[in-house]
Amino acid sequence: MTPAQRHDALHPRLAAWAAGTWPHEETAGLLRHLAECPECAEDAARLSGAAAEHTTGDPLDLPAALRLQVVDWCLARRPAELPVPPWAGPYAAESARLDALIRDLGPDEWQEVAELPWHGGVQHWRPAEVLCHLTAVDSYLSTAVGLPDPLTPARHGTAPHRPDGVLDRTLALITAAGGDDPDTVRARWRRQSHALLEGATRGSSDGSAPVDYGFAVLPLQDAFLDRAFECWIHGGDIARAVDYPYPPPAPQHLRRLVDLGVRSLPALMAAQRQAAGPGPAPGGPGRTLRLVIDGPAGGRWLIPLDGTEGPEGAEGAGEPVAEMALDSLEFCYLAAAHRDPDRVPVGEDGDREAIRRVLHALPLLSRP
């Protein structure tokens, strides 16, 4: 073999040498070539230095985005172990992405405090406490898929106790898990998420079973979308606290999350109007707003401004009194109260007050 042929054969394999996976029986030949070939010697030194920087002791993978890219690739292409119904697909994907993030946290990252805005204020929780929150809210779905409510334990023959309200349930679980190490908290949440997906697979195929959150009742398929949304949003909250990249959901999943927010708007606006006190709907009944969502999850909807019908029922109404355009991610962040409704970038035309009412109603979808 000529020196040029040896170079062509060995140079593409230098990464294996740097990574420590070079066949032992070929080491002597490689070392002789490195002594004779300055180009390969330089590249081998550079690759070995890069490999040395990526030690397994680092709490977060370097580069951090690579792990999530691999997870997204696998979720998009690998057949699911559980043939979950389509409406549970976003939750399966987002809970897996969040688990990948959580698994990468080191001891210091578990102590970072994440900021979780909601329409009534801000919660400051460490990652383990965020997982307790997700576990507490996920448990609302338990009875709908045939599982016991994990927050309703029997106590020495007394009546079961169930904390009321999302925040009460969260704080009860945070208190109960106070002495648990982070891996135990993560495993508890992950076991429950798997159990919910298994329950959805074995249960009603149309996802129509009601899920009672106390403040609202959603069909199971919408409740699973709600849980996917919260996994994504709070995964992003944790990622910001530990300076970890966390991209948005896949476009086909993001589109379902946007649609859930749009379908929730009439009820949110009705609640907004009720909170404002008695009186007719501003501007009279039958008025609509055209909502245009841009981006890969985009679409167009007519929103009834009196809150009496769903978006589908508004299709037969007259000409909209206003039109507003929002990016799909900005729409979701506003729904999560992660944006100021008076500062979110929005294209607008027509009745400014109608647009303002919609923008201020959407964050009501969030909760602590």
Per-residue model confidence as pLDDT tens digits over 18-63: 666 666 667 777 777 777 777 777 777 776 666 555 544 444 444 5
Confidence grade of residue 134 (pLDDT, cut at 50, 70, 90): very high
Q: Cis ω on the peptide bond leading into residue 63 (within 30° of 0)?
A: yes
Q: Are 155 and 134 in contact (CB under 8 A)?
A: no
Q: Does residue 360 surpass a pLDDT of 70?
A: yes
In this model, does residue 163 exceed pLDDT 90?
A: no
- Give a three-class secondary structure readout of the chain: CCHHHHHHHHHHHHHHHHCCCCCHHHHHHHHHHHHHCHHHHHHHHHHHHHHHHCCCCCCCCCCHHHHHHHHHHHHHHCCCCCCCCHHHHHHHHHHHHHHHHHHCCCHHHHCCCEEEEECCEEEEECHHHHHHHHHHHHHHHCHHHCCCCCCCCCECCECCCCCCCHHHHHHHHHHHCCCCCHHHHHHHHHHHHHHHHHHHHHCCCCCCCEEECCCCEEEHHHHHHHHHHHHHHHHHHHHHHHCCCCCCCCHHHHHHHHHHHHHHHHHHHHHHHHHCCCCCCCCCCCCEEEEEEECCCCEEEEEECCCCCCHHHHHHCCCCCEEEEEEHHHHHHHHCCCCCCCCCCCEEEECHHHHHHHHHHHHHHCCC
Of 110-119, 173-182, 229-238, least confident by mean pLDDT is: 173-182
357 pLDDT above the threshold of 50: yes
Place of tokens 């040896």: 6
User: Taking the CB of residue 187, how many other CB atoms lie within 10 A of it?
Assistant: 13
First CA to last CA distance, the chain: 69
| Average pLDDT value for the chain | 82
pTM of the model: 0.75
For a pLDDT cut of 90, what percent of the chain falls above it? 51
pLDDT at 206 over 50: yes
pLDDT value at residue 39: 79
Judged by average pLDDT, the poorest of 222-226, 306-310, 359-363 is 306-310
The sign one gets for the Cα dihedral 251, 256, 262, 267 is negative
What mean pLDDT comes out for the span 327-341?
96
> Is the domain 272-365 a CATH 3.40.50.620 member?
no
Q: Is the pLDDT of residue 83 over 80?
A: no
Q: Tell me which amino acid residue 23 is.
A: P
β 322-327/288-294 pair status: parallel
Please give the structure tokens belonging to residue 265. Answer: 């708007």
Predicted local confidence at residue 138, as pLDDT: 93
- CA separation for the pair 300, 259 (Å, rounded): 10
Asked whether 188 and 99 are in contact (CB, 8 A), the reply is no
185/307: higher pLDDT: 185
pLDDT of residue 84 exceeding 70, the answer is yes
Length of the chain: 368
Q: How confident is the model at residue 155 (pLDDT cuts 50, 70, 90)?
A: very low
Q: What is the mean pLDDT of residues 246-257?
A: 94
pLDDT tops 80 at residue 98: yes
- Tokens 């329950």 locate to 199
Query: Can you name the CATH fold of 64-247?
Result: Four Helix Bundle (Hemerythrin (Met), subunit A) (1.20.120)
> Is residue 156 scored above 50 in pLDDT?
no
More confident residue, 3 or 267: 267
